[in-house]
Amino acid sequence: MDVDISKVLTYEIKKEIADRYFGFRKLIEEDKNALARLIRKQSITTEQKIVVDLARIYIILKDRVLIERFILLSGLEDAVFFDEYMTGSPTIRERVFSGIRAKGLTRKGRFKNLLLGCYQLLVEHVERYREKFGELLEDREMISEEIKLFYRKNDIGSILGFLRSLDNYEHDSLAGPVEAGGRDALKKKMEVTPPPAIESLLPVFPPLVPLPQIRREMKQLAEEAFEGHPDGFEIKS
């Protein structure tokens, strides 16, 4: 049986191009998927720690004016995750303070220490969150650089033009239809997009003011907030 050498060579060239292109692309997609998993994990951490920390503080302070003063003191840019409903909900209060113990000889003393302790936890959790957030930014930047390198080595337009020059795109699964717009549509389909900006997926927190720097002001907030809990806000020691 006669073998058309030109067809064999054409097939091998196409196969080599496809293997290189899709092999590199697969590695990038795997990195993107790994980043997406880390982002989801960080989102869960935010909900389980920082949201709860802030909910406790909002419930303790209760009054919106006091909460706004706390925002300014702490370095937060706004009352993130705040909802008026949470400050008056016994159910939410019971849930977020479950397992929390406050030290002190008097109810007022325990109340002050509770606010200070909750803020210290918030500072620590935000610090760790920012470290992880920075790592995610670096991971995304690395993937973006991989994609730039990918395009430098695999110009889609040139690849499609070369394949078309081989056999005018006849029966070529990579090349697609010849009709108007077919090449542009295929080129778009083959593009590798960078991951979305981390800032669009996760909240951004500024570094918080360390507790020792604002301890006196936080105690004053606790003094004023204590008067706003006539229902006997109490956490067991």
Q: At what angle do helices 156-167 and 5-45 cross, to 10 degrees?
A: 160
HEC per residue, 81-100: CCCHHHHCCHHHHHHHCCCC
Is 52 within 8 Å of 100 (Cβ atoms)? no
Q: What is the pTM of this model?
A: 0.77
Per-block mean pLDDT, blocks of 10 residues, the chain (237 long): 51 59 80 94 89 95 94 92 86 87 85 94 96 95 87 61 51 46 55 88 95 96 89 64
**Whole-number Å distance between alpha carbons of 104 and 98:** 18
Please name which of 66, 76, 117 lies closest in space to residue 223, comparing C-alpha atoms.
Answer: 66
Long-range contacts of 137-141 (CB under 8 A, 24+ apart): 137/198, 139/31, 139/35, 139/38, 140/35, 140/194, 140/195, 140/197, 140/198
**Whole-number Å distance between alpha carbons of 208 and 59:** 19
**Whole-number Å distance between alpha carbons of 217 and 212:** 10
- The amino acid at residue 116 is L
3-state secondary structure of 2: coil
Contact partners, residue 107, CB within 8 Å, separation at least 6: 232, 234
Predicted pLDDT at 88:
83
Is 133 within 8 Å of 204 (Cβ atoms)? yes
Is 25 within 8 Å of 83 (Cβ atoms)? no
The conformational region for residue 169 under phi > 0 = left, psi -120 to 50 = alpha, else beta, is left
Predicted pLDDT at 48:
86
Is 208 within 8 Å of 76 (Cβ atoms)? yes
